[in-house]
Amino acid sequence: MTEVVNLAITGMTCMGCAGSVKSALEEVEGVEAVEVTIDPGKATVTTGAGVSRSILISAVMASGFGIEGEASVGSDFNWVDTSVWKQSAHNTKWCLLGCSIGEFATLGAYSVFSIGASVVTGSPMYYFLLILPLINGLITSVMLETGILMKGQMDFSNALQTALGMSFISMLMMEIAMEITDLLFTGGELGMNPIAIPFMLAVGFLTPWPFNYWRLKKLGKACH
C-alpha cells in the first residue's frame, strides 16, 4: 500500500536546492518516488507503508532545508517514536545481514582450517586475524547494499557511492559486539562456535539499534 506525503519546503532557491532535497528524500528506506518544485517550495513523496512523516521531515532538515511549521532538525528529539524504532530496526536488520556474511565466513574458516588454534594469543598475527573478520564484514555489507541498489535500477557507480555512505560506526559497533560474544564462547580462541551464532546475531542487532534510531530521528539518516 502506497502513501503520498506533501511537504512544504523552505529555503530552496534554485534547481540545485531541489536536487539536494530530492536526493535526501530518495535515500530514506521505503521511499518510492519524489517530486520537488521550487515555486511553491514543495515535495511530493510517494512511500510504502511504514514510512512516517517525521522521518521524511528529518531527512529534509538534515540536508539543510526547512519544513514550514516545523522546528529545526533534532530539536524535538525523543526516544518514543514507534515508527522510527520500526524503521531503524528494519535498517539494522539489513546491516546485520551484510556484516554477518563476511564476519561469520571468516571466523568459520578459522575453525575449519584450524587457523585460530595455531596462533599464539596476543601475538601480532592474533590481532591481525582478530581484525580481519571486521574488515570482511564491512566489505560484504557494502557489496550487499550495492547489489540491492543496482537491483533497484541504480547504476554501479552511484550504487557503490551510496553504499559507502552507510554508517561505518554502526557496522563496527555491530561487528565488534558479535566477535566479542563469539570469543566468550570460544574462550578467546579465534574461530566460530556454532552455539554462539544466535547470541551473536541478537547482540549484533541490539548493540547499534539505539544509535541507528538516534541517527534516523535526529539527523534523518539511515544506517544504510
**For the packed helices 197-206 and 82-112, what is the interaxial angle rounded to 10 degrees?**
140
- HEC string of 2-35 equals CEEEEEEEECCCCHHHHHHHHHHHHCCCCEEEEE
Give tens-digit pLDDT for 138-173.
Answer: 999 999 988 887 876 678 887 788 778 777 899 999
Alpha carbon 187 to chain centroid, angstroms = 31
Largest Cα separation within the chain, whole Å, is 68
Q: Does residue 223 carry a pLDDT above 70? A: no
Q: What is the CATH number of domain 3-67?
A: 3.30.70.100
- The residue written with cell numbers 532538515 in the block is 61
Quick one: pLDDT at residue 215?
Answer: 84
Quick one: pLDDT at residue 81?
Answer: 83
Give tens-digit pLDDT for 80-136.
Answer: 888 789 888 988 998 999 999 999 999 999 999 999 989 999 999 999 999 999 999
Gap between the Cα atoms of 60 and 68, Å rounded = 11
Quick one: pLDDT at residue 216?
Answer: 80
Gap between the Cα atoms of 118 and 1, Å rounded = 55
Give tens-digit pLDDT for 24-79.
Answer: 899 888 889 999 998 889 999 998 877 888 889 888 887 778 888 765 555 567 89
Percent of the chain residues past pLDDT 70, beyond the cut: 94
According to CATH, where is 3.30.70.100 located in the chain?
3-67
